[in-house]
Amino acid sequence: MAKKSKTEFVCQNCGYNSPKYLGRCPNCGAWNQMVEEIIAPEKETLAGLKTVAAKAQRLKEVNLENQPRTKTAMPELNRVLGGGVVPGSLVLIGGDPGIGKSTLLLQVSAQLAAKAGKVLYVSGEESATQIKMRATRLGVTADDFYIYPETDLGLISQTIQQLKPDFVIIDSIQTMQHPEITSAAGSVSQVREVTASLMQIAKTSQIAIFIVGHVTKDGAIAGPRMLEHMVDTVLYFEGERHHTFRILRAVKNRFGSTNEIGIFEMREEGLKEVLNPSEVFLEERLAGSTGSAIVVSMEGTRPILVEIQALVTPTMFGNAKRTTAGLDYNRVSLIMAVLEKRAGLLLQNQDAYLKAAGGVKLDEPAIDLAIAVSLASSYQEKETAVNECFIGELGLTGEIRRVNRIDQRLGEAQKLGFTKVYLPKNNLDGLKIPKGLTLIGVSTIRETLKKVFG
């Protein structure tokens, strides 16, 4: 008598297992996400994959060697990765459909194949002809660049062992299938096991592997949350599909900072780096317009000048409306409450719409002062000078608090031609003033608005 196959129900949102069907997952609360999957027997190692047994060592016996990094021809990508591609690393890149993930990796693959080693580009979504057409449009050519349209991880593993590439691109992880897992491609168990196998290949063979991940409608990478914990680096490729600028942001990096961003411009011939993003974000600013303030924000180790725009209008309904784009909603609500209580601006009956121009997302305390000034500018119908920028954190008692890396922020402002900077008074102690800059130290938000608008 044949043995009956065992099944379980797995939540496709969080990976929770249940022996019976549940309409709502008790772990994450998602509805209609429990999918029946067959429990596969214990699987053997993928064909052709050789594993190396590790051994316990004393901490003092471990050799500390600097990880060699392979630099691409894109300094923006190198900085986000922490200085370059580390051998044996597993990098996950997520982003909305059509944002440019495959284009970025195709260009990077050609650069790596041209000067760093052999590259295997595995595609589960496109045929070799489709990839060739895009490569021709992008002008991608390299001798050691191999294309392999396949979704079976067993065959992919064999090809890696035969070809012995230095870099592998998996596009995308949701299309790959583990031969020992019976569930559909893209399910929680498939994504989990495929990623675990790729991690094993990367670590045992010292191959750097890039994998592309789809995102959900909420913007998170699809699949189990543990996917982001398994990999070494998680990058998000962001941007509006109707704008040409793209931002590559690191949210996890075992080999570098998690605050770095790289900025690219999407063109017909592919992605091109934006080496001076501050100039790009400010080039369309209108002189003499109200509700505008410039802030010098730090994104990782890079200072960026961004225009913060505010539009304050009387509300037509009982409850005032607050809308933000690129700024944290709760931060804006907090600053408006401080302005009303500490600066005497009656904003409770005003609708407020705020955005960070250029599609960039700002989330650091030093942008508070610029947000407050832009709100006051729109409310009072008084413009700020085109040569002024604002740096500072706003406290609940109306004080302007010191911020970090003030030297780098002032250097970027000077480079872009600004001559007057409002900053916390406590930041002036021992500060070397750049040539051509006038620094105005402020202690409270009321004092700041009086000095800016008179």
Per-residue model confidence (pLDDT) at position 219: 66
Which stretches in the chain have pLDDT values below 70? 1-5, 38-54, 64-67, 217-219, 222-224, 241-242
Per-residue model confidence (pLDDT) at position 430: 86
Give the count of beta carbons closer than 10 Å to the beta carbon of residue 215.
18
CA-nearest of 301, 272, 260, 246 to 81 is 260
Cis peptide before 374 (omega within 30 of 0): no
Which residues face 270 on adjacent strands? 267
Q: Which residues of 376-408 are buried (b: 16+ CB within 10 A; e: fewer)?
A: bbbbeeebbebebbbbbbbeeebbbbbbeebee
Per-residue model confidence (pLDDT) at position 432: 87
